[in-house]
A and B are shown apart, each in its own frame.
Chain A
Amino acid sequence: MSALHIKKGSTRHSAYNLRPTFSDVQERHTLAVLVENEPGVLARVIGLFAGRGYNIESLTVAEVDHTGHLSRITIVTKGTPQVIEQIKAQLGRIVPVHEVHDLTVEGPTVERELAIFKVSGDGEKRVEALRLADIFRANVVDSTLSSFVFEITGAPDKIDAFADLMRPLGLVEVARTGVAALLRGD
């Protein structure tokens, strides 16, 4: 497994974090990209993914340091190890990009996503939806006599599971924010 002998920490870029094999296995990685919050920076990041044919499973962005004008872009992407390394290196080339972190490698992480679900129905289905929402710690943020809007936060697979349960109970519409993620510990 040590074919590359790459020293970690010699550069903020990824070439020293390469894993040894050119495997065909698709991996899901969560990347945190700290960028200068200047016009067009999101277009640069998205354009890179589109232009080079990489996948974006989810993407969130917001300014996280108002004095330093730094935004944090969290990207969930899928690819072979070699493609993942290319994505990180290519992101690192973008001039307003300050840091690229592969949280999946640097992990463990806390990943959270917020979603809101509209579920409509009546009778037993309506009661069941409310009961499941309680189990999932989803909050009711809007209610009519024939519908609920639930707000739920959690890891993406928890939200997927909640969606699966709501579907037979009258799920009408879903909105999800995409993943925000941080490393655990200090």
Chain B
Amino acid sequence: MTREMTGARMVIQALKDQGVDTVFGYPGGAVLPIYDEIFLQNDIQHILVRHEQGALHAAEGYARSTGKPGVVLVTSGPGATNAVTGLTDALLDSIPLVVLTGQVPSFMIGSDAFQEADTVGITRPCTKHNWLVKDTDKLAAVLHEAFHVATTGRPGPVLVDIPKDVQFATGTYTGPKPSASHYQPPVKGDVEAITELVAALEKAERPLFYTGGGVINSGPAASQLLRELVESTGIPITSTLMGLGAYPASGKHWLGMLGMHGLYEANMAMHDCDLMINVGARFDDRITGVLSSFSPGSTKAHIDIDPSSINKVIRVDIPIVGDVGHVLEDLLKIWKSRGRKTNAEALVSWTRQIDDWRKVDCLKFAEDKKTIKPQYALSRLEALTKKYDRYITTEVGQHQMWAAQFLNFEDPNRWMTSGGLGTMGYGFPASIGVQMAHPDALVINVAGEASWLMNMQEMGTATQYKLPVKQFILNNERLGMVRQWQELLHGSRYSQSWSEALPDFVKLAEAFGAKGIRCSDPADLDDAIMEMLAYDGPVIFDCLVEKHENCFPMIPSGKAHNEMLLGEADTEGAIQAGGAVLV
């Protein structure tokens, strides 16, 4: 199918042909022709954000909760530079985004024109790939290639920079032809390597699955295969922050999240296992702790679609390059064909060892009759919302870690958090994107007051589109994680880590036409949460919590998995000079 049309119309046509139903964006001079085309059609809904960073995070929320690419449309110059944080966030968490930016007319590029920025130059290191299109005839092919690149192989953000004259000019539109691209990363893993892993799995005495966001990115089938594999082998499973929900938290082999603020049983199992099966995770520094004592006795297998993830930080024994879903399918097939063997006897004592670790009850916290403990707030939120098909986003900091510890995820694509980049201000716009994709679902952003304020302008977006996103703010009037590190590492000198001059969140909600709820008494908390859930519209829930609570368990910087701090009593002198330079 080829047709003559303007570049601006091609953009809309390409989005339609790619099955896009929602675009997050903000207009400006260099994208006006495209906005004109948006005005003239009804197939694609445009969500007007209040800041371009919000558009990016909203698109990320949309993408993470649907598995489809998120689409963003912003103008040149400041529109594009405001997109940089979201692009980097999506790059580090492997989230497919297609970002379209306007550019000054091609004949003015390089002249320091009004709202000109070298967008492809600025975004080259923070996109999977980007294009500057100078010829309308090439625009359609580039747009289709952009969707192909964003969603193929390891997903990631791409950007297409479109000068205004290219939007006005007429050219020939061509439909999607994904096979035309030379970019076709292999998805099938090497069968010999998979067989080697099966052989290791059959013999292992203390095997462990360590899964990550790659399982979720691979699609729902990968999560199903993972569940089948875990259930039929009986091998315990832990997950990174990014992988929560791939295996259900209610599953009997679930150990909870691992890593710096992961569960004791998960980290101890990582340290002591003899076969580690990494499925779509990347040995991030939040996971490994100090590399020299990372799981010293284990044979390590690593399934990853990105060859550069393999042996990047941890040397692995059985590398398998391929898509998680495809590899797990082959793995199961081979394991079954060889007689479904495991080292059952050893697994029994391994499970018993893990059960002993579970008894430490590492998430226990001291409840308080007068003050809401953040852990208590989240355990109540969990109890009162678990019957819903619930989508959770978070900001970044202590609340994020507590949410990962205390909220349980039964399915993939229900948990949206900024893992790699750690972007404060991510959660609120992300919750908007999630709610757009799932209009009838319960969407809660678990936030800290400091993070939340970073993108609070999106209240306008939430109320304009009547999006009933619940902003559950654990308000400790502190930058809690910064404060915790200052306490542990910098002699309790709390430099700039308190939230002075906070707004009245209830009045703030009302000023935007939303509902505000404040709660400071543990006795009122359940009723207040129920009130939030019952309200059909955006809610800011200002939950005043204990101001000096620290997040435990914690692997201090420079320490190993079996050197966790379980509570305040363990913190004295826990981090030495060598660890203090680490973040």
Contacts and interface: CB of A to CB of B under 8 A. Distances in A.
A58 B111 CA distance: 33
Interface in A29-56: 36, 39-40, 43-44, 47, 51
B182 interface: yes
B307 A14 contact: yes
B186 A11 contact: yes
A23 to B, nearest CB: 11
Interface in B165-214: 182-183, 186, 190, 192-193, 196
A16 B319 CA distance: 8
B129 A4 contact: no
Max chain B Cβ within 10 angstroms of own Cβ: one of A6, A22, A40, A98:
A6
Contacts of B311: 15, 18, 82, 85-86
Interface stretch (A87-95, A122-130, A137-145, A170-178): A87-95
A5 B183 contact: no
Contacts of A6: 193, 319
A40 B124 contact: yes
Contacts of A98: 182
A6 B190 CA distance: 9
A10 interface: yes
B319 A47 contact: no
Given A15-B307, A15-B319, A89-B308, A47 B190 contact: no
A164 B124 CA distance: 41
Contacts of B193: 5-7, 10
A95 B192 CA distance: 28
Contact of A7 (B120, B132, B192): B192
A13 interface: yes
Contact of A47 (B124, B149, B306, B308): B124
Contact of A86 (B120, B308, B318): B308
Contacts of A15: 307, 310-311, 319, 321
Contact of B321 (A3, A13, A22, A40): A13
A82 B312 CA distance: 8
A51 B126 CA distance: 11
A47 B124 CA distance: 8
A16 B149 CA distance: 23
Contacts of B296: none
Contacts of B192: 7
A82 to B, nearest CB: 6
A94 B196 CA distance: 30
A102 to B, nearest CB: 13
Contacts of A93: 154, 306-308
A10 B321 contact: yes
A82 B315 CA distance: 9
Given A15-B319, A15-B321, A5 B196 contact: yes
Max chain B Cβ within 10 angstroms of own Cβ: one of A3, A11, A47, A96:
A11
A47 B125 CA distance: 7
Contacts of A3: 317
Nearest to A81: B311
Interface in B133-187: 149, 154, 182-183, 186
A13 B307 contact: yes
A36 B181 CA distance: 12
B301 to A, nearest CB: 11
Contacts of B196: 5
Contacts of A11: 186, 307, 321
B128 interface: yes
A178 B200 CA distance: 47
Contacts of B121: 40, 43
Nearest to A14: B307
A4 B124 contact: no
A1 B128 CA distance: 35
B190 A5 contact: no
Contacts of B190: 7, 10, 16
B183 A95 contact: yes
B361 to A, nearest CB: 38
A43 B321 contact: no
A15 B312 CA distance: 10
Contacts of B319: 4, 6, 15-16, 18
A18 B32 CA distance: 51
Interface in B305-340: 306-308, 310-312, 315, 317-319, 321
Max chain B Cβ within 10 angstroms of own Cβ: one of A92, A95, A98:
A95
Contacts of A90: 308
B576 to A, nearest CB: 25
A92 B124 contact: no
B200 to A, nearest CB: 11
Contacts of B321: 10-11, 13, 15-16
A43 B124 contact: yes
A18 to B, nearest CB: 6
B312 A86 contact: yes
A178 to B, nearest CB: 23
B14 to A, nearest CB: 18
Interface of A: 3-7, 10-11, 13-16, 18, 22, 36, 39-40, 43-44, 47, 51, 82, 85-86, 89-90, 92-96, 98
Interface of B: 120-121, 124-125, 128-129, 132, 149, 154, 182-183, 186, 190, 192-193, 196, 306-308, 310-312, 315, 317-319, 321
Given A85-B311, A86-B312, A94-B129, 9 more contacts: A5-B196, A11-B307, A14-B307, A15-B321, A86-B308, A89-B312, A90-B308, A93-B306, A95-B129
The 7 lowest CB-CB distance pairs between A and B, nearest first, are A89-B308, A13-B307, A15-B307, A95-B129, A10-B190, A15-B310, A89-B307
